Chains A and B, each alone.
Chain A
Amino acid sequence: MAGVANPMAGFRLVAVDEKKRFMLALIAPAVLVLVFFQILPILTGANASFRDWHLNDPKKTWIGLTNYAYVVRDREFLNVVLPNTFGFLAASVAASLIAGLMLALLLNRQFPGRWLVQTIVLLPLMVAPVIAAIMIRWMFNDQFGIVNVILEAFGIAPIAWLTQKWTAFFAILLTDVWLWTPWFALLLLAALQSLPPEPFEAAQIDAASAWRTFRYITLPMLRPVIVVCVVIRAIDAFRTFDIVWTISGGGPARATEVFSIYAYVEAFQFLNFGRGSAAAVLGAIIIVVFAMALYRLLNRWVEVSR
């Protein structure tokens, strides 16, 4: 290129190019896989959302924003599904973060049998979530479920867990927290163990209480890990499907219906793939914006509280 006129500029250009080439080569395999097995299917789905695309009768005629208009005008979607989804997201992420943090602090100590406790805490990661969800659905059954058997042993009247909104919601939430707490615990424990020891030694010399050490040393140092964990988990919690589908099916009626169930029922039970895809694209937009805002907010909030 123009490098002939100015040898120095030419050199810089080559240097930059070489670096860029290296950068591109580093991500090339990932880009290839992503393009073919994620981006291409996602764009196909997005394309379907603008079309009259029933699975059993794919006319594929362009209908613009009709599917989107249906979803945003659906009162159930706005008044039931979205509040349920965000309520579930907030409760699940908060509860599993707190439980995971407590477990990580526990496992960060040295005590006999720590290894065993750690293995037990990781058990939820080893079972297929769908199987765990079926198991828990039976456990919460009002007739043969073990939960009511235990309650009765303590003299508490049996509860028909899955027939009312809040008890069903509780069972789902408990399952989700059970499944995801180990994930938080692992990441936080790894982070805890990599913290430098000096601030803790200083705190010990100053005879700071355990709570103060945690509040003013441990927590601020864990901040980046917590923020990343919460954001990633929030994205996944927004898409939660199989646990809710297996335990309550979104019922009773539509009381525990969350976003993914709404999209799934439209796309695969009513076979309106275009409308289901439109709901999915709307959901993606909502969660991209939400997660970004959450990331900013968490960072600022932790910054201020420090």
Chain B
Amino acid sequence: MAKASIKGYSYCLNHVPNIAFHYGNTPFTERLLRGETEFIKNLKNKMQSYKEACAYAPNQAYIGGITLAELEQQPSPMYENRLKSCDRFGKYGEIMPEDEFIGLMDICDVFDIIWLEEIFASEIKSKLEGHSLLNESQLKRLEAGHPQEEIMKEVNENEALPLYLGERVVGCCRRGHETDECLSSYVLLENIACKAGGVLSLLHLMKNAGIKPEEIDYVVECSEEAAGDANQRGGGNFAKAVAEIAGCVNASGCDVRSFCAGPVNAVIAGACQVASGARKNVVVLAGGAVPKLFMNSRDHIKKDMPALEDCLGGFAVLLGPSDGENPVIRLDALGKHSVAAGASPQAITSALVWEPLQKLGLDFNDIDKYAAELHIPEITLPAGAGDVPLANFKMIAALAVMKGRLEKSAMNEFVKNKGIPGFAHTQGHIPSGVPFIGHACDAIKANEMKRAMIIGKGSLFLARLTNLSDGASFIIEPGQKEEEKAALTREEIREAVLDVLQGLAEDLKKQQ
């Protein structure tokens, strides 16, 4: 049976309200089309401080600062019931403040695209030196900075985008080419931020998994950004660029894309490399999406609530050969949404949930927890998109009823027991099932859970190439101890040898 172990995981957020305010697609487009409107002015008053973002329960659940059980206990609205005590670091990762993240973007910039203002550069240098995961060679990459006039000249004359902390311009993101739209300052800001988020998650992953950078063999990146130029718009490769900064000198990598289904497809791609023996330590990772920051802020402002979408999401998962200890991904029962499967929610749910269960002779109830589209409901509800995770669990329950595997009256109970609360930012690829891998593996290792199903779904039609959507799923279960397997194999060998000997003896008898 083909399996790959999940040997480590990390989850990080980058709290970047100023990048969100200026370059999130919703406020950015508003400013471009209509200028400094009422919406923009109101948005400014609804931004959260770093402390507030840190004390927001779903953010702590994401970085492993609190458990999902604790998140469920949190009174709503959670933005009015913030946690009393909370830390920058959780057991999976951290919430990095914006000033340090801008510094990290500069560390990740190898083409002198990010310029830092010199006073800010020296301030942030001493801060980043205090970060336990950044080593000397990474810190050395931080530039000394430019005088404020040079930054403003670049902004005013060469289309660089200013980087702000409040009213203060602390740097800028320059363009990579004078006419190539794929190398505009906006696209490069998006890509460098995504790269930096991926690097931060990879650094935390290596710490969490106790693995050295040089031991990583391959990186699969699965964000929704496109790196390239006019002749190859989505040429790639974020994975290798991230591995380079993190010091993974023996790694190569590639990018996998499928909108929000990217991460699940990428985990499958990585796990298959591991299970086939092609590569040993494979990392699947992604940083966040700048354009999706403050995506639903118009609705949040209307409902007089804080603009919650101020964090870039990132994650990293380490996959390795099945080791008997760590939870495993089963590759013999992957959910696949085929071209012909159909686009109705029923067809999708059936392909992603029911078909893999049938392959293993399992029932809906044999999965302890399902994880699909884990958006924070407080973010999506005011925007008219509903409680997305809840809708998914209801669909699975309803499908179980249709398949005659569940009483209709037991639907609510099923949803309550098998679902989990949404705790991921509306960062597209980030909410799609993968944030649960960490919590699920912890529960499996603690014998509190037997099986989890991770489900990814992607809206391919947004790219105007096909009307199809995409989806993929996999099941995580406990790793099997090697001893048992070895004992069983020895037993089998003994029996086989006995059979052969017996046959031989009989042949000899006959010959006599």
Partners in one complex: no
Residues on B lying within 8 angstroms of A by beta carbon are none
